[in-house]
Structure 1
Amino acid sequence: MTRTADSRFTIGETDFLLDGAPHRIISGAMHYPRVHPELWRDRIRKARLMGLNAIETYVAWNAHEPVKGEWREDGDVDLGRFLDIIAEEGMHAIVRPGPYICAEWHNGGLPTWLTSSPGMRLRSSDPAYLAEVTGFLEKVNAIIAPRQIDRGGSVILVQIENEYGAYGADKDYLEALVRQTRAAGITVPLTQVDQPIPHMLENGAHPELHKTGSFGGRVDERLATLREHQPTGPLMCMEFWCGWFDHWGEKHHTTTFADSAADLDRLLAAGASVNIYMVHGGTNFGLTNGANDSGRYLPLVTSYDYDSPISESGELTAKFHAFREVIAKHAPVPGLPETSATDAPVLSAAFEAVADPLSLAIADRGAFDAPPALDELGPDVVLAEYTADAADAGLLEAKVRDYAWVSRDGVQVGILQRSIGDLTLPVPAGVRLSLLIEETGRVNYDEKIGEAKGLIGAPLLDGVPLPGPWRVRTIDVPALGQAVADAAASDALIVNGRATGPVGLRASFDLMEPADLFLDTSGWGKGFAWMNGFFLGRYWRRGPQRTLYVPGPVTRNGRNEVVIVELEGATDATARFLARPDLGHEVE
């Protein structure tokens, strides 16, 4: 692919036009915060080898500005560098800044400090909401604008909002986003995306937005519906779903690569452009996993492999080769070097234990007459302890979001889980009642984005609200990894290879050189894991995921240290690393 400093990308009567000539986009989705930045080039290059000519990415506002006024655009969120690498690899870029992105990402990409604002009407022309969005778009578009194709960069398309027609129909809101985007110097074509369902396409429509679709099958039907609502210009599937995501407690989803390849062939044979979602899914590192709730709350697992052509660890899968063969029928593909899958190092190391790890990163937030929601205690609080005295006996009922360990006088007596429905626990008179509550993932779709988390209202004892005061302490979860690494160990906490949580566990091991690893979590209960200070994410015995991906760049030649904070209990207090990932029993 060649480009000049004055290349132009436009929309014609029937095609996308690159410098006036018809151009078909064959793109793949890859989200830069889900990939270690030292691996961006590798994954982009592999996408090009599959035959793609573009990379698409969302921009997660809460990854750039988790705390209001503290904007980041470096390291894992260096969007400018990501777009520059795409250009250096001879590819185009499609950017989807939202501000709402869905993407199975924490809170749909919206910061919790925004969604918890009283009276804020999200994704609307509410002036208070638009004022915050304007600041976000100004910062993002300042990164995108100089990297547009007509300035010698990679960006050819910018999307406005995301699947908005499934949510609302506020045309003033869309007009404001378009106006702000153009005012920031974005000159490339603007797009919208919705499922090819008539009311969705029309709800999300704006005269300056080219309509695209999101679907994974029924290609001819979907393209026909899209053409009815976008009578001129190119047809494009902006999200060709070639896989799916996983929730904790469900099976691992895969798709038959032959069926996906056949659908891709139908798309390209029809002359449509495509963005494969996902070409490389990556990982929900740290606390970035989202959740869905269509009547039942279900949080996403840490892996975002998505059964993609390029796996979570960068392996070229059977789907990669099948897609490459299809693309070769419709467009040139580069030569593919000889590659073969290699096993990761297999090793193990015994853990040593650290007592009471939560106390190492805990903050006393004071007493409250009524239990506050987590958002009232600060942005992105995911773990908090609520304590009150129960003078009377009764049956405890509590509304928790999303998971709570209940203790009486310091002894755990039960668990409350939102995902399996409300439970009740008996409470005798005269005890101190504590609930350690974890937010296990923020809903990323539909109306429950931004919902309150933590202890929702006062618990009931035999139907009567338990009176305060409520003493509240919050735990800085990202800080736990280093805190456990630095703390003194206790030999007495591991008995017969088992450890009761909450407990910190750490182990050291040597590598001859940096390498991708697969950390086996099957002997552990529920908690968080770090490698050399890098926050890998959550694990949970519920599955389906049984390994955590450790990117090679976070490992090193010589001594390495893995840390976990186990909240329930480990039946195997050992750090084990497997040759291959285990994402769970597959279901198509």
Structure 2
Amino acid sequence: MTSRFQIGETDFLLDGAPHRIISGAMHYPRVHPDLWRDRIRKARLMGLNAIETYVAWNAHEPVRGHWREDGDVDLGRFLDIVAEEGMHAIVRPGPYVCAEWHNGGLPTWLTADETIRLRSSDPRYLAEVTAYLERVNAIVVPRQIDRNGSVILVQIENEYGAYGSDTAYLETLVRVTRACGITVPLTQVDQPIPHMLEGGAHPELHKTGSFGGRVDERLATLREHQPTGPLMCMEFWCGWFDHWGEKHHTTTFADSAADLDRLLAAGASVNIYMVHGGTNFGLTNGANDSGRYLPMVTSYDYDAPISESGDLTEKFRAFREVISRHAPVPDESLPEPADAPAFAVPLEAVPDPLALVATERGSFATPPSMDELGSDVVLVEYTARARGAGVLEAGIRDYAWVTRDGRPVGRLQRTIGDEALTLPDGTELRLLVEESGRVNYDTKIGEAKGLIGAPLLDGAPLVGPWQVRTFDVAGLGTAISAAGPESGSGSIVQGRIAGPVGLRGSFTLDAAADLFLDTRGWGKGYAWVNGFFLGRYWRRGPQRTLYVPAPVTRVGHNEVVLVELEDIVDATARFLTRPDLGHDVE
């Protein structure tokens, strides 16, 4: 049965009757697809009537012209499950999404062209965006509420007033979206700060706000700029994200619940950001740079009401109690958290794992950036002849291991501004450079990665030729798993081994189960279970465990693989009963 969703003088209207949206954010690529229904159903149990999701362009089209909408990016299936669970959906396709997601959702093949003006009415940018929106909306259009689907709102751009004020750009996005067949109301979102609300404004877009406190003040400012129609907090920040090297962020659930109560008591609609955060699986984490570059951790737990592994938290129960004062809440029992299996797995070493996935890229007069080398390159080796000792200075984005004639001599780290070291005498210089996460907010979106310009030795440029190799990091898990027994002869001494090294081990399970892989005793690298790329680990913390979704595991034989780029002091894969995201880190 089809319905009609509209914006009235004071309320959202569902088939002509006032309707309040009580929604929660959940990003489908951050949740294993076999767990979508579980997480959506739990959100409904909290009292929500809608699910909101961003659409990350780079998740659907990582390589130009190679569009995906299956598996973990099957947006259509996700929206169908929302409908089957009796809930509405809000879709926010960007094209920019922020979301602490790699490059803010924009593909690296797009941002590699530094002459394109991002998030503007640049005709070349708009041509690519138009093609993207046509693909996304082909999925969304038949799933709108007036076509018997779940979608009630579609957002144009994202926090645009914090970035620019190109009305021609917004006009094009609105026109393209409507031409695609989107008939539900269109919205915008910005923090309730006057210049942001004005910069992102368009007459066909209903203004919504993003904030996590000072509710009365924020709603008043929003009302000044949106005189009619319903008030809505499109992002009610109930938690926060984590950077490597900082503390794990949590919010007091009672304070968050009190702010939610203020919002609902004021008659506003709300989208809780996040109701369930999930995980930056693989290499999808973003980064911030407001004077200092800070990459995101692998977990996107966000201190949300539904934890990264699907547990219902104290915040969940507090929010559910608040919502029950303002709207019906399902009278169903709530599942209790359960401990995961705990066990240890000895690991064997696979030496020189990078050689398994290396591609020779040739000789260059000056070092090329990762962006010049192709889409989503994240690990590059640069080698050149460089005689003599002295101070090496290099523009590193974002982390580099430096070797001299095959011997390690140090690291360069953008996060702490460490971009110089003393180089001993020698003839060959090699830098292994890792991209640690692309900036997802403000003007540094799309910045080049890798070795930026020629390094200096005592102030003089190191001239080429530079020999360059790239590595298929995503393919490392499969390559190490498939390496023959003769490759497993690396020397582990009292649990210690220097990287780069691959490690693998096997274990058995009586039943598929969520697991928490302990990364203590490891340095910096990547991990897989049964070929599923869990993401990055780093001894810098605060995150100490990686979440392994139950659908990744299986009855009987299972395999864990990691690639250590620095050094291991405990060549054992330990699985813990509960996650450790760094709650005790100050």
Fold-level match, TM-score > 0.5? yes
Q: Give the C-alpha shift of residue 587 in structure 1.
A: 7.5
- The correspondence for 2:19, drawn from 20, 23, 45, is 23
Corresponding letter in the other structure for 2:480: V
Counterpart amino acid of residue 554 in structure 1: V
User: How far, CA to CA, are the matches of 1:424 and 1:322 in structure 2?
Assistant: 50
Deviation readout 1:275-320 (Å, 9 max, x if unpaired) = 0000000000000000000000000000000000000000000000
1:312-365 per-position Cα deviation (integer Å, ceiling 9, x unaligned): 000000000000000000000001314221100001110011000000000000
- Checking the alignment, whether the CA contact within 8 Å between 1:253 and 1:586 is kept in structure 2 is no
Match of 2:318 in 1: 322
Q: What stretches of structure 1 of length at least 5 have no aligned partner?
A: none
Q: Which residue of 1 aligns with 2:441?
A: 445
1:259-408 pair list within 5 angstroms: 259-408=255-404
1:161 partner amino acid: E
Q: Contact 1:459–1:465 (CA<8 Å) still a contact in 2? A: yes
What are the equivalent positions in structure 2 for 1:482-497 lying under 5 Å apart?
482-488=478-484, 489-497=487-495
Question: TM-score if structure 2 supplies the norm length?
Answer: 0.99
Checking the alignment, whether the CA contact within 8 Å between 2:348 and 2:490 is kept in structure 1 is no
- Report deviation, 1:418: 0.1
Q: How do residues 563-582 of structure 1 correspond to structure 2 at under 5 angstroms?
A: 563-582=561-580
- Residues 149-188 of structure 1, C-alpha deviations (whole Å, 9 max, x = no match): 0000000000000000000000000000000000000000
Q: What is the match of residue 505 of structure 2?
A: 507
Moved more, 282-291 or 414-423: 414-423
* Structure 2 counterpart SS, 1:494: coil
Structure 1 counterpart of 2:519, from 499, 518, 521: 521
Query: Secondary structure at the residue paired with 1:43?
Result: helix
Report 1:81-120 matches (<5 A): 81-120=77-116
Q: Which residue of 1 aligns with 2:232?
A: 236
Query: Do residues 139 (structure 1) and 166 (structure 2) align?
Result: no
> 1:560 matched to which residue of 2?
558
Q: Is the Cα–Cα contact under 8 Å of residues 58 and 97 in structure 1 kept in the other structure?
A: yes
Cα 1:395–1:45 change in 2 (3 A) is same
SS of aligned partner of 1:33: helix
Instruction: Give the Cα separation in 1 of the matches to 2:58 and 2:459.
Output: 38
> 2:65 and 2:237 mapped to 1: Cα distance?
35
TM-score computed with the length of structure 1 as normaliser: 0.98
| Distance across 2 between alignment mates of 1:371 and 1:339 | 55
Q: Would you say the 8 A contact 1:67–1:379 is kept in 2?
A: yes
Alignment-derived partner of residue 45 in structure 1: 41
- Tell me whether 1:258 sits opposite 2:254 in the alignment: yes
Distance in structure 2 (CA, Å) of the matches to 1:177 and 1:464: 48
Partner of 2:70: 74
Paired residues, what number?
584
Q: CA deviation at 1:117?
A: 1.4
Q: Counterpart of 2:321 in 1: which secondary structure?
A: helix
CA shift for structure 1 position 393: 2.9
* 1:126 matched residue in structure 2: 122
Give the secondary-structure state (helix, strand or coil) at the position aligned to 1:253.
coil
Partner secondary structure for residue 252 of structure 1 = coil
Q: Deviations over 1:41-84 (max 9, x none)?
A: 00000000000000000000000000000000000000000000
Q: Give the counterpart of 1:543 among 528, 536, 541.
A: 541
Question: How far apart, CA to CA, are the structure 2 residues paired with 1:390 and 1:338?
Answer: 64
How far apart are residue 422 of structure 1 and its match? 3.0
1:416-436 deviation digits (Å, cap 9, x = unpaired): 000000342223444200000
Q: Tell me how far apart the structure 2 counterparts of residues 586 and 159 of structure 1 sit (CA, whole Å).
A: 38
- Quote the offset at 1:507 in angstroms: 0.6
2:424, 2:151 → 1: CA distance?
Answer: 64
2:542/2:585 contact within 8 Å kept? no
**Cα displacement (A) at 1:492:** 4.3
Residue identity in the other structure for 2:404: R
For 1:293 and 1:56, how far apart are their aligned partners in 2?
Answer: 27
Residue type at the aligned position of 1:576: R
Structure 1 CA distance for aligned equivalents of residues 572 and 424 of structure 2:
38
SS at match of 2:154: strand
Displacement, 1:493? 1.7
Check the 8 A contact 1:493/1:500 in 2, yes or no: no
Per-residue deviation at 1:498? Answer: 1.0
- Any idea what the Cα deviations from partners look like across 1:375-413, whole Å, max 9, x if unmatched? 110000000000011123321111100000000011110
Task: Tell me the distance in 1 between the aligned counterparts of 2:61 and 2:419.
Answer: 37
Once the two structures are superposed, residues 16-47 of structure 1 have per-residue CA deviations (whole angstroms, 9 ceiling, x without a partner) of 00000000000000000000000000000000
Among 198, 205, 212, which residue is 2:208 paired with?
Answer: 212
Identity %: 80
- Secondary structure of residue in 2 paired with 1:519: strand
For residues 254 and 352 of structure 2, what CA distance do their matches in structure 1 show?
51
Q: Deviations over 1:541-584 (max 9, x none)?
A: 00000000000000000000000000001110001000000000
1:14 and 2:10 matched: yes
| Residue number among 54, 58, 61 corresponding to 1:62 in the alignment | 58
Structure 1 distance, partners of 2:104, 2:584, is 26
CA distance, structure 1, for counterparts of residue 57 and residue 138 of structure 2: 14
Deviations 1:446-472 (A, max 9, x none): 000000000000000111100100100
Structure 2 gap ranges (5+):
none
**Does the Cα contact within 8 Å between 2:395 and 2:419 map onto a contact in 1?**
no
Contact 1:283 / 1:305 at 8 angstroms: preserved in 2? yes
- Partners of 1:346 and 1:498 in 2: how far apart? 22
CA contact (8 A) 1:48 1:91 kept: yes
CA contact (8 A) 1:388 1:470 kept: yes
The one-letter code of the counterpart of 2:562 is: I
Equivalent AA in structure 2 for residue 523 of structure 1? G
Residue 244 (structure 2) aligns with:
248
Query: Does the 8 Å CA contact 1:407/1:414 hold for their aligned counterparts?
Result: yes
- Deviation per residue, 1:474-495 (Å, 9 max, x gap): 0000000011111134344211
- Give the match's secondary structure for 1:535: strand
Distance 2:427 2:471 in 1: 23
- 1:516 partner letter: D
- For the aligned residue pairs, the C-alpha RMSD in angstroms reads 0.9
Contact 1:399 1:422 in 2 (8 A): no
Letter in 2 for 1:191: T
SS in 2 for 1:561: strand
Whole-Å Cα distance in 2 between the matches of residues 556 and 583 of structure 1? 25
SS in 1 for 2:207: strand
Corresponding residue SS for 2:221 = helix
